[in-house]
Amino acid sequence: MEVLEAIRTRRSVRSFKAEPIPDQDIVGILEAARWAPSAGNRQPWTFIYVKDPQILRMVKNCAPGLYGAAPAAIVMGIDKKDERRGVLDVCFAAQNVLLAAHALGIGSCPIVSFNGEAIRKILNAPGSWEPILVLSLGYVDKPSSFPSKKSLAEIAYVDSYGKKWKELEA
Amino acid sequence: MVQDLDARFFDLLLRTLNYSIEFVKEPSYASLRFMDLLSSLLNLQPFLKDLTKNEFYERLRERLEERELIRDPVKRETVQAELLEMFIDEWREATPQK
């Protein structure tokens, strides 16, 4: 799948099949995360792949935003001392995960609505570690509809704020 | 099936607690209302004869008895943290390998 096609066709998925994801695909997805850009190449992130049903159950209990019965999740976190730039780095890595998963035919959804302290304890992470994102993963059961997107003319300008670019006026 | 009911009830309580925690910093009553819902669910537990974690639920009920603690947002946050710890400990005990 071409990168631009993957970007255009990826959707946040909230309805998953129970079918497990092969480990090798998860390794490929994590590898994509590893290659994300990072400020000063600090790579402050840690990725925890959650596949144990009991741990996943507890993560779900503490993540109100996690819909559907995803068979797996990746929790992405940083050391609290890296918070300022680390959050951005995690977001870059997360986008790589979402696109890599999509390219492998796996649905995903980024979740920020969760109880970080609870997730940290469930995953036995140290007090210095802070979860930033939970990404649910699984094969798509019901595909999500295409969301409406603002036009480029509404969100992009040329040379100065508010200056329209005629190339964007369709 | 009984085990399933146990897990479902436990999950429902824990989710309700987390909803309450999610809103604790907001000025609305949402957090307090979810704590009330948690108490109501716990009060229902003795009527569900197939549940097995009775001692655990009794301890939760005891912790929630003082509504004054729950009404005050700062004290509520402390109680919520304690309750959360109790849930995670109970889960770990039931699944010792985790």
> What's the CATH code of the domain at A88?
3.40.109.10
Q: Is the pLDDT of residue A53 over 90?
A: yes
What is residue B75's predicted lDDT score, i.e. its pLDDT? 86
The complex's ipTM works out to 0.82
Q: So what's the pLDDT on residue B96?
A: 67
A153 touches chain B (CB under 8 A): no
Closest by Cβ to A122, choosing from B15, B81, B88: B88
User: Which among B24, B25, B42 has a CA at the least distance from the CA of B33?
Assistant: B24
> What is the pTM for the complete model shown?
0.89
Assigned token pair, A79: 């050391």
Q: Are A114 and A134 in contact (CB under 8 A)?
A: yes
Does B98 sit within 8 Å of A61, measured CB to CB?
no
Q: What is the pLDDT of residues B84-96, one digit of tens each?
A: 999 999 999 988 6
Is residue A162 in some structural domain? Answer: no
pLDDT of amino acid B97: 65
Q: What is the pLDDT of residue A144?
A: 86
User: pLDDT class for A1, splitting at 50, 70, 90?
Assistant: confident
What phi and psi, each to the nearest 5 degrees, are found at residue A104? -90, 5
Domain assignment present for residue A38? The answer is yes
Number of domains in chain A: 1
Q: Containing domain of residue A19, as a range?
A: 3-145
Rounded to 5 degrees, φ, ψ at A112 are -110, -10
The partner residue sitting opposite A64, judged by closest CB among B7, B18, B88, is: B18
Residue A170 resides in a domain:
no
Contacts of range A120-124, beta carbons closer than 8 Å, 24 or more positions apart: A120/A77, A121/B84, A121/B85, A121/B88, A122/A55, A122/A58, A122/A59, A122/A62, A122/B88, A122/B91, A123/A48, A123/A50, A123/A55, A123/A59, A123/A75
